[in-house]
Amino acid sequence: MPPVRVLTVEGATVTFGGRRVLDGVSFSVEAGEFVGLIGANGAGKTTLFRVVLGLLKPSAGTVRHLGRRVGYVPQKVAIEPDAPLRARDLVALGLDGERFGVRLPSRSRRERVDRMLEAVGAAAFADARVGTLSGGEQQRVLIAHALVGQPSLLVMDEPLANLDIKSGHEIVELVARLAVEQDLAVLLSAHEMNAILPHMDRVVYLAEGRAVSGTTGEVIRSDVLSELYRYPVKVLDVDGTVVVVGGHDVKVR
């Protein structure tokens, strides 16, 4: 069977106050595919996410979703340690937190929540208060919350920003596995690419509102990124770490 495109963005342009924040961005994400959205702060990642989530209408271009709803994991959720919200409670909100009418029967809800907690490796702290969990544990719960409603697309906003290296690698490996197991399309943003580099099927690289997409071998190249930045840059491999350096203080590791 041909691959199923879950998300298609074509020529997305966003203009604020006469400034183009996004300039003709085009890419797609297929079912079962892990796509990394890479770019330095200010490159336009947040604006692009708002367009993908339907929170912002582009000035030009189109965004098409195929299939079920979108699951979203924000960059950070501030929950006080003494807040009476258990991990399983937060995940359950993903089932009907935005719905009206009759809920799923309690047993069905509980079983679905338990399965999702197990899938993300959070069963051991299912009854712990979310505010007391570590950053990596909270990320697992937030992923479960986003996926318990069985979306076709998972959008993750800088999920590694507040994690240590070990926790970050574990979360990336988890998401890559879930993409395959659940035939899930994943779009994950990051300003540091090395943690997700081994797991990305394709990359969308943003710079000053413009984008180029393809496999890492097609995109993470000096000539391609120099054309994208419209300024000479170099892609270096420093002891196994990819570093992009050049003009305009380009430093995307």
Instruction: Output the domain CATH number for residue 178.
Output: 3.40.50.300
* Separation of alpha carbons 249 and 235, rounded Å: 14
* Separation of alpha carbons 170 and 136, rounded Å: 8
- Indicate the average pLDDT of the chain: 90
pLDDT tens, position by position, 63-105: 999 877 899 999 878 888 888 999 999 999 998 755 444 455 5
Six-digit token string for 230: 């419209």
- Pair 145, 163 in one domain: no
* Separation of alpha carbons 214 and 216, rounded Å: 6
Q: Examine the pLDDT at 132 and tell me if it is beyond 80.
A: yes
User: Does residue 2 or residue 40 have the better pLDDT?
Assistant: 40
Domain count, the chain: 2
- Pair 41, 57 in one domain: yes
**SS3 at position 188:** strand
- Pair 158, 251 in one domain: yes
In which order are the strands placed within the sheet that holds 233-238? 233-238, 241-246, 250-252
Among 151, 178, 206, where does a domain finish?
Answer: 151
- Pair 163, 64 in one domain: yes
- Pair 211, 185 in one domain: yes
- Note whether 37 and 45 are within 8 A (CB): yes
Dihedral of CA atoms 247, 18, 75, 207 in degrees, nearest 10, equals -30
- Pair 170, 64 in one domain: yes
* Separation of alpha carbons 163 and 91, rounded Å: 21
- Pair 191, 226 in one domain: yes
- Pair 233, 108 in one domain: no
Among 151, 177, 208, where does a domain finish?
Answer: 151
74, part of any domain: no
- Pair 126, 180 in one domain: no
Among 101, 134, 151, where does a domain finish?
Answer: 151
